[in-house]
Structure 1
Amino acid sequence: MIKKKLSKNPLKPSMNRRFSTLASILQNNWSLIEKSFNTQIVKLKNKIMKKLFLGLALTAGTLAFAQETETKTVNASPLKKDVQPVRFGIKAGGNSAYFSQQKFGINTQQLGFHAGAFVNIPVSKQFSIQPEVLFNQMGAKDVMYSTETDNGVTNVKTKVQSRVQMNYISVPLMVQMRPVDKFYIEAGPEFSYFLNGKNKSESSVASTTGGVTTTTESSNSQDIDKDMINKFNFGLGLGLGYDITSNIGINARYVNSLTKIDKSRPAAENNNRIFQLGLNYKF
């Protein structure tokens, strides 16, 4: 048997020497490499921290400027300064009403009442809006004739009058202005819806003889025909008021209707006039 001799690789000892030399160099310079790497890391951290602090400073400055601007804007508005809270309340009082075709006087005034609730919404220290919902009585009275006769023995007084009583649900929308803290004036529209009503006729005869008076009275009442009445009533109100305390106040108002009552008659001689005087209580 013939044995072949394996030839040795001439490159292997050379490569081993190179790797050994490289390992020796890395081992001798590892501390320098590690130190250089740590230095770069520290520099990178410092750069990141600087940018982070700069960004936070810019953000804080922007927010502070925005807040200051908003504060100045709010303070600059006179409508938002010293605004009182929204308050609810109730009110009630007496009415004195007549029709536009009548002359204002004692013999034409139909007495009634109003009652309901309201909410007062301030928009500034001096101005507020007050919507209301009221049960509201309107109408008129008319003295058809009044006579007196005296024959020397007996005195006779005769009076015949008619009354119209009309019940509405009214929704006034008043704008109030306060020149001083407790006193205000108001104006605004009033929208009303007719519910029902009555026509009443009354007569009285008073006879006096020898100092003795005998009175005879009679009356008749009938419902108003709703088909003849304009259901919706629109008017303009003007009034004033005074706050007796922070909760209790007094109010006076005049309302002039602009729509006709009876559908068959002209509006100029056929609408409501009403005076109101009442008390209100704010919660």
Structure 2
Amino acid sequence: MRTYSWFFLAAFLACSSVSYAQSDNPTGGHFGVKAGVSLTRLNISGISPNIPKQKLDPHLGVMYRYRLHKFVIQPEVLLAAKGGTMQVQRIGATTRETIRNNYYYLSVPLLLGYIPTEGITLQAGPEFSYALNAGKSGGPGAKNDLGLVVGAHYDFLDMLDKFSLHVRYVYGFTNVSPEPLAVYKNRVLQASIVYNLYPKQKK
């Protein structure tokens, strides 16, 4: 029993030393570049013959992360595709046709975060998006899209300490439908790998 007690004490001290090493500079900011994939779809209501389906789309961007003790401010700029796909059965047709939506956005998430434990940040905030192909074939019907972002930021350790993982869900509020009688709203699940550009430590 005493052996187990010493083992748990050693494990606790090791975890504490890791947390202390990560928390020795809890105030400051850095830039990062990120890339990943999005599982996109449209939430459809109103009068529409279309049935929404999901598709994988890429996203790419930059971020700035500023930490103040356990709180984080993180603005980003992303190039992202949204929209998902849709299936529609034309009048007189016997099979359904798949329509691929390509809604290209320049998005600016403004996130606030809280660090419950070292390495993990819980985040939420608004996302403002501008459609680069609004009104064009296969594009959205609205130029602007407002969404709510909820997600988490995880920092890798050891040899991968310059990398982080972002997982988040984006809930769109704006009707982006090109159809007059239907309502389309973006729904996006994102996963990104971030390369953090930490400032050099002063010697």
Normalising by structure 1, report the TM-score: 0.52
Conserved in 2, the CA contact under 8 Å of 1:186 and 1:239? yes
User: Which amino acid letter does the alignment assign opposite residue 108 of structure 1?
Assistant: K
For structure 1, which runs of at least 5 residues remain unmatched after alignment?
1-80, 146-157, 199-222
Match of 1:273 in 2: 187
Displacement, 1:110? Answer: 2.2
1:1-283 matches, cutoff 5 A: 83-101=26-44, 108-122=53-67, 124-144=68-88, 160-196=97-133, 223-224=136-137, 229-245=141-157, 246-262=161-177, 265=180, 269-283=183-197
User: Which amino acid letter does the alignment assign opposite residue 131 of structure 2?
Assistant: F
RMSD value, Cα: 2.5
User: Which amino acid letter does the alignment assign opposite residue 65 of structure 2?
Assistant: N
Tell me the matched-pair count: 160
Cα distance change, pair 142–225 in 1 and its aligned pair in 2 (3 A): closer
Displacement, 1:89? Answer: 0.5
Larger radius of gyration: 1
Distance 1:231 1:225 in 2: 13
Greater share of helix residues, 1 or 2?
A: 1
Distance 1:238 1:225 in 2: 28
Conserved in 1, the CA contact under 8 Å of 2:115 and 2:122? yes
Task: Choose between structure 1 and 2 for higher RCO, CA contacts under 8 A separated by at least 6 residues.
Answer: 2
Distance 1:225 1:164 in 2: 5
The C-alpha deviation readout for 1:125-150, integer Å capped at 9, x for no partner, is 111100000001101212336xxxxx
Distance 2:42 2:88 in 1: 15
Percent of pairs with identical residues? 31
Displacement, 1:259? Answer: 1.0
Displacement, 1:171? Answer: 0.2
Displacement, 1:265? Answer: 4.2
Distance 1:243 1:113 in 2: 22
